[in-house]
Amino acid sequence: MRRGGKIGFWAAAAFGAACLAPPAYAERLVTSVSTHRVLITSNFTGTELVLFGSIDGAPADTQIGAYDVVVSVRGPARSFVTRRKERILGLWVNTDSREFAQVPTYLAVMSNKPVAEIGPPEMLRRYGIGLVNNVLPPPAGNDAPEVPPEDSFRGAFLRVKTNEGAYTADPKAVTFLTPRFFRAGVPIPGTAQTGDYQVETLLIAKGAVLAQQQTAIEVVKTGFEAVVAQEARNHRFFYGLGTALLALMTGLIATLLFRYD
């Protein structure tokens, strides 16, 4: 009897909690990346990882399209300077510049539809969804327009980075295999910097974030590439001396091979 009463109590409590909180909070997100370590070898030209995700606790009658998913991959942070050229005396000269402090060297925002359709601008800004919201997000409570007109530098920075291939926004990269199961391809370009890459997955419905998952992948050099990079960093003088000797040896070998006088 006592036991039954306890179960009844917990059931009542759970029911009450479910009534008080928005019902959407019942969903949980489970994600898995195909590998957590990207190894850079001498023939590395970039690779693609696959992220699989499952939505737990979704209602039984869920249709595809009920949920939106945004996967953001952020590479190691670094500061960049953006300069603008202007015509002075007939020559194109750097005039103005802006610094972008500690922004990702690599950024990929993958979603199942364009991020602008996923939620209101304020919510996108708060959760750092979309390329523009990952670079110098305006301070909280700032009711300035989405991209202030004087902020042409931010637009240019994103444009240059996108053309370089360092930043990508793909509104079709997340595909739902079933209403509760999705996959996303995460491209890692050959120019990727080594370091930790944060992978953040957001589950969204009707413009509200329901669940969030964080995981990390590590991009490391391995084998010969790692040895060369380590020597260049740790034994600078001997590395330089070694390269100089390499030059002398190459020159000597070629001279002996081609000696014809």
Partner 1 sequence: MPIYLPIAELPVNIFLILGLGVAIGFISGMFGIGGGFLMTPLLILLGIPPAVAVASVPGYMAASSFSGTFTYWRKRLVDLGLGFVLLSGAILGTASGVWFFAFLRRAGQLDLFIALAYIVLLTAVGALMMTESVRAILRTWRGMPPILRRPGTHAWFHGLPFKLRFRQSRIYVSAIPITVIGFAAGFIGAVMGVGGGFLLVPALIYLMRVPTTVSVATSLFLTLLTMLVATVLHAVENRTVDAVLALVLMVGGVFGAQFGARAGQAIRAEQLRLLLGLIIIAVGVRVAADLISAPVEPFSVVPKEIWE
Applying CB under 8 A, among 6, 159, 172, 206 the residue interacting with partner 1 is 159
Applying CB under 8 A, among 3, 20, 141, 255 the residue interacting with partner 1 is 255
Which of the residues 97 through 126 are near partner 1 (CB under 8 A)?
Answer: 97, 99
141/73 Cα distance (integer angstroms) = 26
Total Cβ atoms within 10 A of residue 115 = 22
Q: How far is the CB of 37 from partner 1 (least distance, A)?
A: 16
Cβ distance to partner 1 smaller for residue 46 or 148: 46
Applying CB under 8 A, among 5, 20, 63, 79 the residue interacting with partner 1 is 79
Q: How far is the CB of 130 from partner 1 (least distance, A)?
A: 19
143-149, long-range: CB < 8 A, 24+ apart:
146/121
219-223, long-range: CB < 8 A, 24+ apart:
219/38, 219/40, 219/75, 219/188, 219/192, 219/193, 219/194, 219/195, 220/37, 220/38, 220/39, 220/40, 220/194, 221/39, 221/40, 221/194, 222/39, 222/40, 222/41, 223/41, 223/42
Q: What are phi and psi of 171, to 5 degrees?
A: -80, 5
Cβ distance to partner 1 smaller for residue 108 or 118: 108
85 lies in the site for partner 1, by CB under 8 A: yes
Question: Which residues on adjacent β-strands are paired with residue 51?
Answer: 33, 184
Applying CB under 8 A, among 87, 140, 150, 214 the residue interacting with partner 1 is 87
Q: Are 38 and 217 within 8 A, CB to CB?
A: yes
Q: How far is the CB of 233 from partner 1 (least distance, A)?
A: 6
Using CA of residue 127, residue 132, residue 134, residue 136, what is the dihedral sign?
negative
Residue 52 neighbours by CB under 8 Å, 6+ apart: 31, 32, 34, 181, 182, 183
The window from 62-70, 132-140, 160-168, 201-209 that contacts partner 1 (CB under 8 A) reads 160-168
The window from 14-22, 55-63, 140-148, 184-192 that contacts partner 1 (CB under 8 A) reads 184-192
220 lies in the site for partner 1, by CB under 8 A: no
Q: How far is the CB of 126 from partner 1 (least distance, A)?
A: 26
Cβ distance to partner 1 smaller for residue 11 or 227: 227
Which of the residues 190 through 219 are near partner 1 (CB under 8 A)?
Answer: 190-194
Strands 174-178 and 181-189: antiparallel
Q: How far is the CB of 33 from partner 1 (least distance, A)?
A: 22
Point out which residues bind partner 1 (CB under 8 A).
40-46, 78-87, 90-94, 97, 99, 153, 156-157, 159-161, 163-164, 190-194, 221, 224-226, 228-229, 232-233, 236-237, 239-244, 246-248, 250-255, 258, 261
